[in-house]
Amino acid sequence: MAFICHTLQNFQVGGSSDNIEESCATFTSRALGVETPLKTTHLIDNCIVPCAGKKKEFYSVFHGMIREKQVKKLYLALVVALVPTGIISHYMRPVNLAPRLVSQDYIEGWHLCQLEVLECKEVPWPNADVERTHNIEDCGLPSKKTAYECRINLLTVKTHRVRAQLASIGAPIVGDSMYMPSAFAAISNPLINLFGEQRKKYSSDNDKVAAMAGWILCHGKEPNSVVGLQASQISWNDGDHFYEARAPWWGRGHA
């Protein structure tokens, strides 16, 4: 049996040694009155909602379906620039540290990341009350009149892949204080991104290492609150199991 939980932003989903009693899995188990505590099957970043949980016997089965790409996940992303529809491909550095660096060109050993933008439409920028309620980080945006909502189909599964890929093409996610600064830096000076289309060529490995360190410094810190990204649909068994989240935080009130 599986349970789908729509969590509050920044609410701890999976328990660790120091917060096992204050996690989504523990509280949901208590609310349902189950004897065996639920385990987390699938979760996104802490700044993204919602997540899915399940009973122990379903754990390995569900992860096997994810590995075999039998689970379909659709996201909604609120970004600052129009994104063309179609498949976007990058290669992600195989280092388990943020920020996740991506390249538009193949680099040996880097992981392929792909997403498909199914739709991108203009929407009003969330009003001041909505931003204040959800504590959206400003990130130094020069204008807050128009945003764009993208519906995205994930083709590969990598941590931060949606956030890093959208920022890499100049359309960072609203409130994403980690990747938005790097996107603006690359727009101002395309040569600063040594993995971008207009990257600078370096004559020595030392120069390239220094350039990578500089590019990493162009990124900010992880958001302290929710960002404009929602896991909006999840389904498996050819749609026999289909779950859809409520409207995203930015769609619950506009000026």
Going along 23-161, which residue ranges are E strands? 39-42, 51-54, 72-79, 86-92, 102-103, 111-124, 146-154
Residues acting as catalytic residues: 45
List helix spans (H) across the chain. Answer: 24-32, 56-67, 128-133, 161-168, 180-188, 205-217
Helix (H, G, I), strand (E, B) or coil at 117: strand
Distances (CA, A) of 144 to 148, 231, 242, 254: 11, 24, 35, 12
Residues in the chain: 255
Q: Which two tokens stand for residue 135?
A: 């504590």
Cis peptide before 99 (omega within 30 of 0): yes
Contact 219, 181 (CB under 8 A): yes
Q: Which two tokens stand for residue 45?
A: 């970043």
